[in-house]
Amino acid sequence: MAIQTAAMKNILSDAYKGAALYGAVYTTAPGGTAGTEPSGGSPAYARKSLSWSASSGGVTSATATFDIPTSTTLVGAGVHSAVTAGTYYDGAAVTSQAFASQGTYQVTFTFTES
């Protein structure tokens, strides 16, 4: 049965953001498992803590900016339970972007309970 009320959609959205605490980017496509995260750089690549917006109608979002090392091509992004290791929860492809030199990449993560 489809979720009919905004209240229940918000409960499920809140559960998602309570688990998906850190964002990551990948050099290989994520799916049922996480993609491969970049490494190195100065400043070094690291997962970012996510500050999710208040759930509204089952929708919440968080934006993070990542430091990307030279000679890296990004193809995906996803969410994890911890800053290192932890549990991979979700991911998706992004428009491929190559970095010839050190740079930054901003991702807006959005969860929609429908």
Domain count, the chain: 1
**Per-residue pLDDT tens digits for 47-104:** 999 999 999 999 999 999 999 999 999 999 999 999 999 999 999 999 999 999 999 9
Does residue 85 lie within any of the structural domains?
A: yes
Across 1-114, where does the E strand assignment appear? 22-26, 48-49, 59-68, 72-80, 88-99, 103-112
- The Cα 40–Cα 46 span in angstroms is 9
Does residue 56 lie within any of the structural domains?
A: yes
- Tell me the CB-side half-sphere exposure of residue 95, using CA atoms within 13 A: 4
Does residue 1 lie within any of the structural domains?
A: no
Does residue 13 lie within any of the structural domains?
A: yes
Does residue 81 lie within any of the structural domains?
A: yes
Q: Give the torsion sign (CA, 105, 33, 84, 16).
A: positive
pTM: 0.94
- The Cα 45–Cα 39 span in angstroms is 6
Does residue 55 lie within any of the structural domains?
A: yes
Does residue 80 lie within any of the structural domains?
A: yes
**Enclosing domain of residue 99:** 6-112
